[in-house]
Structure 1
Amino acid sequence: MKHLTIDPENKQPPTRDHSHPPESLPKAKETKVHPNDDGGEDASLFFVGTATTILEWEGIRIMTDPNFLHKGDHVHLGPGVTAERLTNPVIDMHESPPIDVVFLSHYHEDRFDREVEASLRRDLPIITTPHAKGCLTSMGDDSFTDVHDLDFFQSLMLDFSTDVSEKRPAIKITGMPGKHVAGAAGVLNYFINAVPPTNGWMIELGYYSGPLVENNFNCGYRIYISGDTVMVDELKEIPERYRDQKIDLMLIHLGGTTIPSPSTPLLVVTMDAKQGVQLLQLIQPDITIPIHFDDYSVMLSPLEDFKKAVKEAGLSNKVVYLERKDRYRFGINGVL
């Protein structure tokens, strides 16, 4: 297993602009908790927009898929494929408090837009796919310098502590399978690379004592992020590998994203409402939060369709819906 130590004292702005960033996120529009809230929440997830979220726990702050373009901006998603952003992020990149690490599911402009690419500080730790690492580290003198790649089911242990106390926080991140396109179209895409390879993530928050090895790490909360994928057979391996391990939260990428355009919807490259419910039934997480559902013009499966499908499947008590600027709070089991 790979290891990465992140200095907890090295709290820097996420961007190259070293003006004074805020120390915290803005006040949430609404804070939500588990339907069976027990009052023990010590971690939170803040929804910025599209697939951009900020996870906070034990003084650690993680950003997923940074995309801070504004309404009316356009992104390039492949040969002849562009999309218009229809919403605004609730904060701008320079308004973000210090970020310890970025989890990037794939190298696409709606995940890592051109303004983010230009403005992020080059030594910010980024965990991503092998393909994306190749892109981020091949920019000559302007390359990112702390990029770590994970393929499917490869893991990395993130150590955020330098003290020697008996109980220290750590995060284990594991690459999960995902594919934008499947079947014959997937085979063709492999050769022409029209859309890039993508990862999901399994994020395990927990504590350890002694040396940071897997046997000393106790997971207190497990988050599965689907990433951009359609319902492919490779996803069936996830519940097999985690058969006896609870998945507390799933962040599911929806939207039914179509290419090359809404007027010519030849391929669906992210889950629509039907596939989203199928993934809930396959993974069986304790709670699911949908993200990535209405931010771009190529998303043709609205959140309302997912809500209806969830209700028809009898799973409404398993889903929490966040609007942009909402926060979801949850608790980590701290027992070693």
Structure 2
Amino acid sequence: MASMRHLHLNASKRQPLLKDEATSDEADATLPVKRVFTDPQGSKLNEDASIYFVGTATTIIEWQGIRILTDPNFLHTGDHVHLGPGVTAQRKTNPAVDLHELPPLDCILLSHYHEDHFDRLVEKSLNRAFDIITTPHAKECLSGETKDDPFQSIHGLDFFESIMLHIDRKEPSHAGGYGKVPVIKVTGMPGKHVPPGPLAKANDLLKAVPPTNGWLLEFGFSFKAPTGGDPESIDTGYRIYISGDTLFVDELKEIPKRLRNEKVDLMLVHLGGTTIPGPSMPLVMVTMDAKQGIQLMQLINPDLTIPIHYDDYDVFLSPLSEFKKEVDENGWSERVVYLDRGEQYEFKVRGA
């Protein structure tokens, strides 16, 4: 079993996100929030964490003053991305906020090295010392010896490997009590971007479609002296599972086994039924469509699901309307929140 890795984040000493930023200690920019959602079962007006939907698979997750950016893609309507040999996609929407308008951030969670999740503008503009948690493959692509301007703080996680994000505070009282330290445990989850069989074997040789991760984020607290305790343990108050760009494959069935019946509070599911090489010739699907999305909900059984990654590019052939239909027909409508770009979901981390 791999040893736990650790990353210390301090909102008062952030690395600047972009190369041309001298510091990230300036006053926070304000995200343009169009609408705020809370638990469909009812809010207690005590939410202390949030997810902001930028577009495609790009979100900003915030808790205890720490902000995590997922799969940064900030291209606009009409822009193109390269997805593999001879495969391109055109963006159909604009992001809710532009890259240079983001508030200060602490790290990036990158599911895989594909331009619709890490576009060329992002790759060119980012500060090379900014922390990025991603797949071993993406780590090699971004920080390898062949890279002209390599990234310096890439943390590669394989399936079921974890890194603990320690939210450093000057005063423990800000963390919820004496000796109570907020942490976020990030664990790589299985995912397969190519269906099993001959195509997967061919892709293993050609390496046209990169390997991908899902993620499990566990928000909670660790306890330091004098209370003692295992420094790798966490008293979890909220779990978010992010599917990443995967199909519904057998490997996903390992996730509930690993959780040992511990519940998932929220699932961010990547949908869209992405097809390759494109809508005019949909030979193979590489992300879940509506039916597979429902299968994943039934497997993971989250308290709440938020669909993302469903209509931003012209290679998506399973619209959100199909997923809504499946949700309603399967009796899950009260356990799904639909966010448009620029909308935010707020939640409460237990124990905070």
TM-score by length of 2: 0.92
SS of equivalent to 1:206: strand
1:159 to 147, 166, 183: 166
**Counterpart in the other structure of 2:278:** 261
**Counterpart in the other structure of 1:287:** 304
Preserved contact between residue 29 and residue 101 of structure 2 (Cα < 8 Å): no
Preserved contact between residue 203 and residue 224 of structure 1 (Cα < 8 Å): yes
Preserved contact between residue 32 and residue 327 of structure 1 (Cα < 8 Å): yes
2:313 to 290, 293, 296: 296
**Counterpart in the other structure of 1:174:** 187
Preserved contact between residue 53 and residue 64 of structure 1 (Cα < 8 Å): yes
**Counterpart in the other structure of 2:9:** 6
Gaps of 5+ in 1: none
- In structure 1, C-alpha distance between the alignment counterparts of 2:69 and 2:250, rounded to whole Å: 28
**Structure 2 CA distance for partners of 1:164 and 1:210, relative to 1, 3 Å:** farther
SS of equivalent to 1:260: strand
Across the two proteins, how many residue pairs are aligned to each other? 335
**Counterpart in the other structure of 1:41:** 47
- Between 204-213 and 110-119, report the one with greater CA deviation: 204-213
SS of equivalent to 2:13: coil
SS of equivalent to 1:178: coil
- In structure 2, C-alpha distance between the alignment counterparts of 1:100 and 1:26, rounded to whole Å: 16
- In structure 2, C-alpha distance between the alignment counterparts of 1:159 and 1:49, rounded to whole Å: 28
Shift of 1:214: 5.3
SS of equivalent to 2:77: coil
Shift of 1:22: 6.0
Matches within 5 A, 1:106-255: 106-138=112-144, 140=147, 142-163=149-170, 165=172, 166-184=179-197, 185-210=199-224, 213=230, 216-255=233-272
**Counterpart in the other structure of 2:340:** 323
Gaps of 5+ in 2: 173-178
Q: Percent identity?
A: 58
Shift of 1:215: 5.5
RMSD of aligned residue pairs (Cα, Å): 1.6
- Between 27-36 and 324-333, report the one with greater CA deviation: 27-36
Shift of 1:81: 0.5
Cα deviations by residue, 1:69-97 (Å, 9 ceiling, x for unpaired): 11100000001100000000011101001
- Between 92-101 and 15-24, report the one with greater CA deviation: 15-24
TM-score by length of 1: 0.96
Shift of 1:15: 1.0
Shift of 1:110: 0.3
SS of equivalent to 1:72: coil
State the one-letter code of the partner of 1:204.
Answer: E
Shift of 1:258: 0.1
**Counterpart in the other structure of 1:57:** 63
- In structure 2, C-alpha distance between the alignment counterparts of 1:264 and 1:188, rounded to whole Å: 19
SS of equivalent to 2:241: strand
- In structure 1, C-alpha distance between the alignment counterparts of 2:27 and 2:283, rounded to whole Å: 44
Preserved contact between residue 183 and residue 222 of structure 2 (Cα < 8 Å): yes
1:31 to 33, 36, 46: 36
Preserved contact between residue 31 and residue 102 of structure 2 (Cα < 8 Å): no
Say if 2:94 is the partner of 1:88.
yes
Shift of 1:208: 1.5
State the one-letter code of the partner of 2:9.
Answer: I
Say if 2:323 is the partner of 1:306.
yes
State the one-letter code of the partner of 1:217.
Answer: I
Cα deviations by residue, 1:283-330 (Å, 9 ceiling, x for unpaired): 000000000000000001000000001100111011000000000000
